[in-house]
């Protein structure tokens, strides 16, 4: 999982082994958003990926969060 984040250029912010969680920062892309946070919750058989805007006041993400999740899933599944 961490290799996929590094390959995508996402910055690992926190790795919590006790909670089985990784949090990464996705850099801003253009003027649409200021970047996103990606939270990955995992166990031995599954994982949950969540992407959200860094600014909690941003109501519209222009599809960026969905794109982030699909992009990461694609990279994980290709390995």
Which pLDDT score is estimated for 30? 72
Which pLDDT score is estimated for 73? 92
The pTM of this model reads 0.85
Could you read off the pLDDT of 47-75 as tens digits, one per residue? 899 999 998 888 888 899 999 999 999 98
CB 18 within 8 A of CB 33: no
Which pLDDT score is estimated for 79? 67
Instruction: Please report, for residues 2, 55, 71, 79, the alpha-carbon distance to residue 74 in angstroms, rounded to integers and kept in the order given.
Output: 14, 26, 5, 9
Q: E-assigned strands of the chain?
A: 11-16, 21-26, 36-42, 47-53
**Model confidence at 29, in pLDDT bands (50, 70, 90)?**
confident
- What CATH number labels 2-78? 3.30.310.80
The whole-chain average pLDDT of the chain stands at 90
């Amino acid at each position: 999982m961490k290799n996929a984040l590094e390959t995508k250029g996402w910055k690992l912010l926190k790795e919590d082994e006790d909670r089985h969680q990784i949090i990464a920062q996705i850099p801003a892309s253009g003027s649409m958003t200021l970047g996103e946070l990606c939270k990955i919750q995992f166990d031995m058989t599954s994982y949950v990926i969540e992407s959200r805007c860094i600014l909690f006041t941003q109501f519209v993400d222009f599809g960026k969060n969905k794109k982030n999740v699909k992009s990461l899933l694609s990279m994980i599944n290709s390995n």
